[in-house]
Amino acid sequence: MRRIVWVAGLIWVMMWGLVSCGGGRHSGVGVVSLPYSSDTVITFVALMDTLSSIQLEDTPDAYVAEASKIIEYNNKLFIFDMPNSKVLVFNEAGKYLYSIGRKGNGAGEYPMVYDFTINPDMGEVVIISHSSQVYIYAEDGTFKERKQISDTFFLHITYADSEYVCSSTHIAVERDNAYIIYTYNDKFEETGKYIPSLPIQVMDTQIFGSHLVSTGKSAYFLDVFVRKLYKIIGNKSEQLLEFQFPNPIPNDIDPMELAQNPMKYDWLYDFVPQDDKFIMCYVADGHMNMAVITDSGEVLASGLLAGAVLKMFPSDKGYTISPISKEVYYMDWLEYSYDNLPEEALDGNLLLFKWKCNPKALKAH
């Protein structure tokens, strides 16, 4: 039995395949009908053209329970471990160096970590925490200052084109002019707000993982509820794609209903920009699926997804970084059965794979 890596630790078993299809475009926005049936089978193993792999150091201080975000910066790897609410720093060889701040109530300590980003212009690491407070550190972890930047509840933060980009949720608020995306300059002075919030109570998107990412000068936000993908550059926002499903998540869904039965509805699970395309993972027709899509809405490949559902984080030069447990590596890459896994596959820290889409895999579908 294969272990499927799900958000919140859910484990699922699925079969999958891959086919090619097309998308449309209306009023400058790509409209994509994501398919969910195929006779062709492909895995992350087949899709990934791996540049390198890194084994993270296996010591108590270096252990990562879950890599919720990974940023490469200045020959280092900054990894957000959400269950332990900390940001760890490794060198390019996977050796643990230090952590950024720590959980607590003292100077330079934070109550929890929702997300983090790096400002390469200032050489600063910024953690966003409870009540939209940001904790600002130097690259070496030295604490600088704390600021409360908004009354809006922010879950995610990134940095692109000299602007911080923060994302909220469609949670009902008791005030006017509620938006999903807010931008700030280097001093955390607000420079813009985009995408009006829905006027109803809907589920907190943090259980879906991060849907705000940046690469180069662009930030991208995937709104799982209205099924739209936005691009933010500086203080400008534009909608790129809209996704259509036969059975989308209702806007007024009870959060527990989806948490207990995540395969009941069709929804966008995760995405990553890679060169001039996007890799999307989504639930449709009761199965996990994958699609490779251009920014104009053309679907290069898509289909049912088997094996581990890997997290994907944008890296430099169009590459993607995916964290993989040893267990998944042995089962999916080395093709061990679960019953025959060696002891070393059940212990140890994460592997990180840096990869792009294999052109041969795309041409084959």
pLDDT at 258 over 80: no
Please count the CA atoms within 13 angstroms of the CA of 343 that sit on its side-chain side. 0
Highest mean pLDDT: which range of 231-245, 249-263, 318-332:
318-332
Highest mean pLDDT: which range of 26-35, 53-62, 146-155:
53-62
d(CA 241, CA 29): 5
Identify whether the C-beta of residue 322 lies closer than 8 Å to the C-beta of residue 355.
yes
Measured torsion, CA atoms of residues 11, 14, 20, 22, in degrees rounded to the nearest 10: -60
pLDDT at 310 over 60: yes
pLDDT at 15 over 90: no
Question: pLDDT value at position 110?
Answer: 95
Residues whose CB is less than 8 angstroms from the CB of residue 203 and which lie 6 or more positions away in sequence, other chains included: 225, 249, 253, 255, 258
Q: What residue segments make up the domains of the chain, in order of their start?
A: 7-363
Question: pLDDT value at position 142?
Answer: 97
* DSSP conformation class of 250: P
DSSP 26-87: ETTEEEEE-----S----HHHHEEEEEEEEPP-SGGG--S-EEEEEEETTEEEEEETTTTEE
pLDDT at 11 over 60: no
Residues whose CB is less than 8 angstroms from the CB of residue 318 and which lie 6 or more positions away in sequence, other chains included: 215, 274, 275, 356
Q: Does domain 7-363 have CATH number 3.40.640.10?
A: no
Q: Exposed/middle/buried for 95, CB within 10 Å: 0-12, 13-18, 19+?
A: middle
Higher pLDDT, 238 or 301: 238
pLDDT digits (tens, 9 = 90+) for 134-176: 999 999 999 999 999 998 889 899 999 999 999 987 764 545 6
Number of H helices, E strands in the chain: 4, 28
pLDDT digits (tens, 9 = 90+) for 187-244: 999 999 998 887 655 555 455 545 899 998 999 999 887 889 999 987 788 999 999 9
d(CA 341, CA 328): 10
Kindly report the pTM of this predicted structure: 0.88
**Strand ranges across the sheet with 96-100:** 67-73, 76-81, 86-91, 96-100
